[in-house]
Amino acid sequence: MRTNMIKFIVKRLLIAIPTLLVIIAFGFIMMRVAPGGPFTSERALPPEIERNIQEAYNLNKPIWEQFYIYIKNLSVGDFGPSFKYKDFTVNELILSGLPVSVTLGLSSIIISLFIGCFLGIVAAIKRNTYFDYSVMSISLIGICIPSFVMAPLLSLFFGLYLGLLPTSGWNGGNVLNLILPITALSLPQIAVISRMMRASTIEVLNSNFIRTARSKGLSPSYIVRKHVIRASILPIIEYLAPASAGLMTGSIIVEQIFGLPGIGRYFVVGALQRDYTLVSGVMILYASLLIALILVTDILRALLDPRVKL
Amino acid sequence: MQLTQKNINNSNLLLKVNNLSVFFNTPEGNIQVVKDANFSLNKGECLGVVGESGSGKTQTFFSITGLLSSNGYCKGSAIFKGFDLITSSEEEKRRYLGKSIGFIFQDPMTSLTPHMKIGKQLSEIAIFHEKLSSKLAMERSLEVLDIVKMPKSRDLINSYPHELSGGMKQRIMIAISLMCRPELIIADEPTTALDVTTQSEILSIFNDLKSNMNIGIILISHNIGVIAETSDNVAVMKNGLIVENGSTFNVLTNPKDEYTKHLLSCIPPWLEK
Ligand SMILES: Nc1ncnc2c1ncn2[C@@H]1O[C@H](COP(=O)(O)OP(=O)(O)OP(=O)(O)O)[C@@H](O)[C@H]1O
Ligand SMILES: [Mg+2]
């Protein structure tokens, strides 16, 4: 089992390298095809200065050579200098934004999983009761309202009208500052997860092996804990990677709205200002995170379901 | 008639079912799949239930044990040792289920929890009902695996259902029903999908349980040959009705109902003794 697991992980990491290369190349080309460059501005620069800048950032070299240089630096973990934040490297910028984004993303995913699964299970057990109906209709609303609508509504209501919570800023990671952004990010995920969990739990509750468990006279709570959950949570595990992707894109907007100095904000600023290296760096980070998550998903699935072999 | 007379104040009486009806709410309306069933079972005896597919055999016994799907409900009474299983609460019923009443399900392939080791699926019953320690419960599991003649039971308790063959799963199902030394076993087609050798082995296990452990057995089957081999009494079901009910010998040699005659005529001649 253990050696299998290590082999599996190594194999997947090796497959991840070409995947990442394709993503990097794609991003690289997309950025350069988009009109404008990092140093084009309203006021034309004197030609010598422009040439000097181009030279300093290798922009005068052919595009394939730029790509080669970029990959070569990446292979030693160097994401290059930021084109816009002149005194910083992309590594420094990402490292400064990482704590904010990781705190936001991890708490959102954990909160969404726990609340979503719990609501889904209870709704399935109490199906066709008022509890079930209210969870399902509220979650339908949650699915329909995206984070970028939810976020301003939340800050308007809890921040401005009620004055209960701060509407923006990181404030050193103060819990009060995190509540609104995490809520805005989690609500759509909670909605999706609770519906998925409800559906899969109902399916498991109707399965033959639960009938066997009931024929043993075991208590309902024991049956749910030991026989139902492990089977009904499998679709949620599959959903982990798409959910995280949703959270990442959500966080780009939510960080912007709540003025949080996370990676998502650098991504937006970088894209608007053609900061090639910064955007590529953030993109590579997101892609690697997703690839790692898919790997974790596969491992979790094998741990939960004995029929799945790595 | 004589049979029911004898049962009334019989201390051997294990299960008495009166006017049992089963209904389902379906999108097409309310349907009745069991109609006023009456039958009884003594300790150490076997009641065979035959009938074609869809005649209501399984639902009759799901209703008694409270295992009907959520759109189903039932009326009537099912007195098990003086206790009405139909009107009792879920909680009261759980004291009997898995302890004094064992259920063997029709489809062994899907009736075991896929993510739980066989040993746990057996031992949890004794842990729950008899408060045994995990260690003692595991020993009990090995004992019942012995009764159902499973070889290499020590490896078996650490395997998962998908690693077993259909016949092995069927025996595990029987072992599950035996964990707490039941007084009544309801076996729903325990031998379908098995080869003839395995089938006769399993039937001989039932015969042992009946005579050695004094367990009452209800054996559901659409194979009248299987019934003839094991049952003391037979109930014949058709379209939710019990059309004939009596001692196996009487029913098989002198069938009164047209449907029973038809069933008997379906037995290949080389099976008749
Ligand atoms: N949940 C349900 N909702 C509606 N009808 C049902 C439901 N479950 C069973 N039935 C119906 O009840 C009838 C009796 O089914 P039952 O399972 O008792 O048949 P059976 O005699 O055991 O057949 P088989 O030999 O194929 O196992 C069938 O017509 C079936 O369609
Ligand atoms: Mg059946």
Q: For residue B249, what is the domain's CATH number?
A: 3.40.50.300
Q: What's the whole-number mean pLDDT along residues B75-97?
A: 93
Phi-psi region of A149 (alpha: psi -120 to 50; beta: other; left: phi over 0): alpha
What is the CATH classification number for the domain harbouring A163? Answer: 1.10.3720.10
Provide the β-strand partners of residue B72.
Answer: B24
Residue B7 lies in a domain: no
Q: DSSP 3-state helix, strand, coil percentages of chain A (rounded to 5)? A: 75, 0, 20
Are A184 and A150 a contacting pair, CB within 8 Å?
yes
Identify the DSSP state of B270: G
Tell me the CA–centroid distance for residue B47 and ligand 2, in Å.
Answer: 16
Q: What is the ipTM of this complex?
A: 0.91
Percent pLDDT > 70 in chain B is 93
Q: What's the full length of chain B, in residues? A: 273
Domains of chain A: total: 1
The ligand placed nearest to the CA atom of residue B104 is 2
Band of residue B7 on the pLDDT scale cut at 50, 70, 90 = very low
Is the CB of B16 inside 8 Å of chain A's CB atoms? no
Candidate from A47-61, B47-61, B148-162, B185-199 with smallest mean pLDDT: A47-61
Residue A40 lies in a domain: no
* Sheet containing strand B241-247, strands side by side: B101-104, B184-188, B216-220, B46-51, B233-238, B241-247
pLDDT in tens, B190-215: 887 677 888 888 889 899 889 888 99
User: Which tokens hold the place of A145?
Assistant: 């309202």
Q: Which pLDDT score, from 0 to 100, does residue B1 have? A: 42
Residue A221 lies in a domain: yes
Mean residue pLDDT of chain A comes to 89
Strands B72-80 and B83-84, by their bridges, are antiparallel
CB–CB contact A215 B113 (8 Å): no
Give every CB contact of residue A6 below 8 A, 6+ residues apart in sequence: none
Domains of chain B: total: 2
Q: What's the whole-number mean pLDDT along residues B1-5?
A: 46
> Considering the entire predicted model, what is its pTM?
0.87
| Residues within 5 Å of ion ligand 2, judged at the Cβ atom | B 58, 106
User: Which tokens hold the place of B258?
Assistant: 């047209």
Task: Provide the residue range defining the domain that includes A213.
Answer: 98-272
Are B173 and B118 a contacting pair, CB within 8 Å?
no
Identity at B89, one-letter amino acid code: S
CB–CB contact B105 A212 (8 Å): yes
Mean residue pLDDT of chain B comes to 89
Residue B5 lies in a domain: no
Nearest CB to B97; choose among A216, A227, A306: A216
Task: Provide the residue range defining the domain that includes B137.
Answer: 111-179
Residue B88 lies in a domain: yes
How far apart, in whole angstroms, are the C-alpha atoms of residue A279 and residue A272? 10
- Chain A residues lying within 8 Å of B128, measured CB to CB: 216-219, 222
Instruction: Answer whether B26 contacts ligand 1 (Cβ < 6 A).
Output: yes
Is the CB of B151 inside 8 Å of chain A's CB atoms? no
In chain B, the residue whose alpha carbon lies closest to the alpha carbon of A204 is B113
Is the CB of A172 inside 8 Å of chain B's CB atoms? no
Lookup result for tokens 């089992």: A1
pLDDT in tens, B227-270: 888 899 999 999 999 999 999 988 888 887 777 777 777 665 55
- Chain B residues lying within 8 Å of A215, measured CB to CB: 65, 67, 97-98, 102-103, 105
Band of residue B42 on the pLDDT scale cut at 50, 70, 90 = very high
Tell me the CA–centroid distance for residue B107 and ligand 2, in Å.
Answer: 9
Is the CB of A75 inside 8 Å of chain B's CB atoms? no
- Chain B residues lying within 8 Å of A305, measured CB to CB: 114-115
Domain edge (last residue) among B135, B162, B179: B179
Residue A111 lies in a domain: yes
